[in-house]
Structure 1
Amino acid sequence: MNTHTNSLKTCPVTRRRGLPTITRHCLGLALSMGLALLAATFVDTVQADNATPKVYGKTIGNWGHAWWQWAFNFPSAGNPILEDGNVDCSAGQSGEVWYLAGSFGSKAERTCTIKKGKAVFFPLLNGLYWTPLDPTIPEDCTDVLSCRTGVGESIDKITGWSCTVDNVPCVWFAQVVRAQSNARRFNIPPGSVATDFGYAPGVRKISISDGYWVMLNPLPPGEHTIHFTSASAAFPDFALDVTYHLTVSALKD
């Protein structure tokens, strides 16, 4: 594992490819509103069944599900969730959205390079529930309702989070969104990190992701630091604290 919608209604909003962005002249006004406004810009609505707008072709909830498939395609060795230090942020990536990994509740500091023009997507706190491969061996849930309820209750227990880009709160770049995915199949390939937790390889017929997500529009070329943390009452020892030192190259695909 690596929750009210409000907005600056008085501020003009511009739209690049993807998420809307508050115009620069409104930033000073927004900053003067302080921490109360930070809370007001936080999105706390469970998003399911494609009831929300698509960003880069998917809802935020379904991007969350795709994030889990990306992360669980790796074995433990070289898994982005478990890595520290210099890492390869291009591993397993494709398309216009690249994923960054959280952790399993520990501290990590990573350095890597990403290509210009890539949106960046990552979780602050997230979970995934799935139905069993073998119905006689219980796993997380048994049907869509129990999967959606179970993973939702686990994410409801978040007790705090933080997120900055170059020491500026993430909410000035993008909304922090609580979102569930559609019910989807989920593949655990042989050698996946999930097998280290006792799950047999194979395709689960039903799975649902839930979490708090950030989708950043492409960052300008140069050096950037993304830092995010979270904690959850569901896991007393869980203390996610991840820093990415990113170099955005001047080269595009």
Structure 2
Amino acid sequence: MPIVPRPFIAALALLLAGCAAAAPQPTPVGAETTAGAEPLSDQDLQARWWTWAASSPENRNPVVDDTGQWCAENQPRDVWFFAGTFGGTVDRRCEVPAGRPLAGPALNLASTSDACARFMEDAKGSVALDGRLVELRRIAPVAIAYQAARGNVVGQREGRVTGQGCGLWAWIPPLTPGEHELVVDGESGSFRTSARYVLTVRAAD
């Protein structure tokens, strides 16, 4: 996200699935989830995710967070966003509300059309839920607009930001109650990021 000053948010990226001798085949979720809301459009998904990522300062931002203590920060009510890092590997423990679909990028960028095109040429990534690969949506550059808060970590001025969004994105229907593992990995050029989430879903009251 060269709309940002760091390697990651200069391309805000997320995951890169670990290497295994016999890699699992991508699958659109499965028995570990329940029926969920329809996926957002390419524009809405990216615009809302970037608004979320740019909604809090560095000392409490879920993208910078390396433990999961800020997972719930500014989460919307109809979807639960996850993120990678600005580069490097993290382990996060988070609680996810029941009945909420999950969405996030394995790798993404918000910049110009040309920058997105170059970024996507080398973009690789994966999202794995409980050891099973989730099918990713490859989004080519598309016009987006999002809101950035004062002091945001993506390096944007406060207010409305416009640009081109692209990346490898996952949409996961609501998870069943219990504990789940979500592994997000991504790379493009020399940039690499990896985030492992241990997610606890509480049964609805």
Query: What TM-score results when the alignment is normalised by the length of structure 2?
Result: 0.77
Distance 2:194 2:204 in 1: 30
Consecutive unaligned residues in structure 1, runs of 5 or more: 3-33, 43-54, 130-146
Match of residue 121, structure 1, among 92, 97, 103: 103
Change in CA separation of 1:155 and 1:97 when aligned onto 2, cut-off 3 Å: same
Match of 2:19 in 1: none
CA contact (8 A) 1:61 1:210 kept: no
Deviations 1:83-139 (A, max 9, x none): 01242432211232110111112101000101110000011010001xxxxxxxxxx
Change in CA separation of 1:179 and 1:84 when aligned onto 2, cut-off 3 Å: same
More helix per residue: 1
CA contact (8 A) 1:176 1:212 kept: yes
Consecutive unaligned residues in structure 2, runs of 5 or more: 1-11, 14-21, 29-36
Extract structure 1 runs of 4+ deviating beyond 6 A. none
CA contact (8 A) 1:64 1:211 kept: no
Match of 1:98 in 2: 80
Please report the RMSD computed on the Cα atoms of aligned residues, expressed in angstroms.
2.4
| Letter matched to residue 132 of structure 2 | V
| Letter matched to residue 65 of structure 1 | A
Q: How many residue pairs end up in the alignment? A: 178
Deviations 1:139-179 (A, max 9, x none): xxxxxxxx223222212222x32321111222xxxx21111
Match of residue 203, structure 1, among 150, 160, 181: 160
Match of residue 120, structure 2, among 155, 158, 162: 155
Kindly indicate whether structure 1 or structure 2 has the higher relative contact order, using CA contacts under 8 Å at least 6 residues apart: 2
Match of 2:61 in 1: 79
Alignment partner of 1:165 is 2:129: yes
Q: Which structure has the larger Rg?
A: 1
Query: What TM-score results when the alignment is normalised by the length of structure 1?
Result: 0.63
**TM-superposed deviation, 1:182:** 4.4
Q: Percent identity?
A: 25
Distance 1:157 1:62 in 2: 24
